[in-house]
Structure 1
Amino acid sequence: MHVFPARSTAFLTGVALALICGCGGSSDAVPRNSPAGPVPVVASTNVYGDVVEQIGGDRVRVVSIISDPAQDPHSFEAGTRNQLELSRAKVVVENGGGYDDFVRSMLRTAKNSSADVVNAVEVSGKTPPANGELNEHVWYDFPTMGKLADRIADALARTAPADADVFRQNARTFKEKLTLLQAEEEQIKAAHAGTAVAVTEPVPLYLIEASGLRNSTPAAFSEAIEEGDDVSPRTMQQTLDLFTDKRVEALVYNAQTAGPQTEKVEQAAEDNGIPVVPVTETLPPGEDYISWMSDNLDALRTALDE
């Protein structure tokens, strides 16, 4: 059966934003060196858009190119409206690593080439393993997200220097919340270190590995699914055997890119009483980054405790 996320506990409250007065003595004056209005920011997905909003507050205006949880980011095709928003942006946040190449393609043709571009994969410092490919889904890696928060705060501060202290304080608050998520990972690790799980795609692997779990999925299966290729009969059987032989304790399932092959694996898990934990690549409605990741961890822990 599916294990759906429980509501996460309350987190640290947001930091109160200090009122900034203009140099001319009027409370309505625009601070010197500050743009006349919120900083325009474009994010490739609403995951990064939400992080920008948590750091920038009402001092940013964020447009997230991909916000529909039914949209597969790998196959997304940007349009003229996206191009227009990018041409107006002062800061752009992309994932990088080949995940959202449409951003760089549009930036190359955008009239505005001066935007400060924040690339999450570059910020992470991660590189491909020997004879392997980089797992570009770095938003499931909390240390990376902490580095990214600082980098976003710096980019916003360069655009709106008068608000720099606000941005950096909000980044510190965001990172404090990340430590709570890392504590949840440590709790799972303490109880289930070495436990084998399966995935349909490498999307949640950073979270799984940080939680001390072992991914037993045949690499050929998850790679084929991620690339949109057909899984060979042999690889499919090897994957199905994980569930019929009860060699894994949970299936972490990317619900955003489901198809006949992944649905067959999901059915095998359910038929053999293996809990299925759905994850997505973009924020579900009504969630922010912190609550979303906490819910993912809650669901994973619940599945493993069964």
Structure 2
Amino acid sequence: MRIRHRLTQAVGATAVAVLALTACGTASSDSGDGKPSIVASTDVYGAIATAVAGEDATVTSLFTNPTGDPHEFEPSAQDTLTVKKASVLVYNGGHYDAYMEKAAEGASAAKVDATSIQSPKGENEHVFYDLPTMQKVADAVAKALAEKDAAHREGYVGRAKAFSTKLDAVIAQARAIGQANPGAKVAATEPVAGYLLTLAGLTDVAPARYTAAIESGTDPAPADIAAANALVSGKQVRAVVLNSQTENPVTNALAKTAETAGVPVVKVTESLPAGVDDYVTWQAGNVKSLSDALAPRP
């Protein structure tokens, strides 16, 4: 469990305002132009919703900062109004984006909670790196939109199918990494991309106490830092996987150790990188980075 908790632990006055707003009125069924309105907790879920919505619905993502930490996000008063008027809410769940979970409790919008959809359930909260589950999220968004806007049902369902077909290709590429590199080990500073690493047949051998400390926003014990660095300097791992949105002196030092040892560093993010607005493109890039990192060196 993260201590610098989720999107967000801003459960003070702002979160209270959300509940008050949602409790005092009926959520609007559209965005003012006759189209259903979708509100996503982050641009990752917004991108999935957009792929399904096409031109038939509007999508608003609350967290869209490619360099910020989504766990430190605090919703604005405008955000609360946007949530109140939504037709569909799309979010990670599992206490990752606690603000959206709390807002959803009082909203009349249809809810698409990725954690609730995930099967089998995993302990890693970063469900948006579970590609097969994101296919199910797209289907759930299509179903929710079709119930709100039956006239465009065929479009929603068709676009969700197209999204899943594109993602099938990325899933196949990820699995090919493990097939080409059986038993390959990596060291991830945080479990952000854990589901993708598993899909790719890679084993994360970073010390558990090291990653737990980094994930909670605290410094690992010196012995755990030494153990992580020894894995990398001794080339016991094929790559280091680093969350670029939460870099700190400890993780930067590990990256430097990797550079010195000639071990590739793969940077991952919790929201869409700058210049990327498509979920499939984003994950295809992550898979390519992993594949390139594990490719044989001349």
Is 1:274 aligned to residue 263 of structure 2? yes
Q: Deviations over 1:119-138 (max 9, x none)?
A: 0011113435xxxxx10111
Contact 1:37 1:59 in 2 (8 A): no
Structure 2 unaligned runs (5+)?
Answer: 1-29
Match of 1:197 among 186, 206, 211: 186
The one-letter code of the counterpart of 1:46 is D
Contact 1:120 1:148 in 2 (8 A): yes
Is 1:85 aligned to residue 77 of structure 2? no
Q: Secondary structure at the match of 1:58?
A: coil
The one-letter code of the counterpart of 2:111 is V
Contact 1:96 1:120 in 2 (8 A): yes
Match of 1:295 among 267, 277, 285: 285
Structure 2: distance between partners of 1:265 and 1:191: 26
Structure 1: distance between partners of 2:149 and 2:82: 19
Match of 2:136 among 140, 143, 147: 147
RMSD, matched Cα: 1.7
Structure 1 unaligned runs (5+)?
Answer: 1-32, 129-133
Q: Secondary structure at the match of 1:59?
A: coil
Q: Deviations over 1:175-204 (max 9, x none)?
A: 100110111012211111211101011011
Contact 1:220 1:235 in 2 (8 A): yes
Structure 2: distance between partners of 1:61 and 1:40: 5
Structure 1: distance between partners of 2:247 and 2:130: 23
Q: Secondary structure at the match of 1:262?
A: helix
The one-letter code of the counterpart of 1:80 is A
- C-alpha displacement of 1:105: 2.8
Is 1:121 aligned to residue 110 of structure 2? no
Q: Deviations over 1:2-60 (max 9, x none)?
A: xxxxxxxxxxxxxxxxxxxxxxxxxxxxxxx9x95221110000011011111010111
Match of 1:61 among 55, 58, 61: 58
Q: TM-score, normalised by structure 2?
A: 0.86
Identity of aligned residues (%): 38
- C-alpha displacement of 1:226: 1.1
- C-alpha displacement of 1:106: 3.4
Q: Secondary structure at the match of 1:41?
A: strand
Q: Secondary structure at the match of 1:256?
A: helix
Give the aligned partner of residue 135 of structure 1.
124
Contact 2:89 2:104 in 1 (8 A): no
Structure 2: distance between partners of 1:261 and 1:37: 50
Give the aligned partner of residue 218 of structure 2.
229
Structure 2: distance between partners of 1:125 and 1:249: 29
The one-letter code of the counterpart of 2:117 is V
- C-alpha displacement of 1:230: 1.9
- C-alpha displacement of 1:221: 1.1
Structure showing greater radius of gyration is 1
The one-letter code of the counterpart of 1:213 is L
Give the aligned partner of residue 12 of structure 1.
none
Give the aligned partner of residue 131 of structure 1.
none
Structure 2: distance between partners of 1:203 and 1:66: 17
Structure possessing the higher relative contact order (Cα contacts under 8 Å, 6 or more residues apart): 1
Q: Deviations over 1:280-305 (max 9, x none)?
A: 11111222111111111111111111
Structure 2: distance between partners of 1:184 and 1:146: 16
Match of 2:153 among 157, 160, 164: 164
Give the aligned partner of residue 24 of structure 1.
none
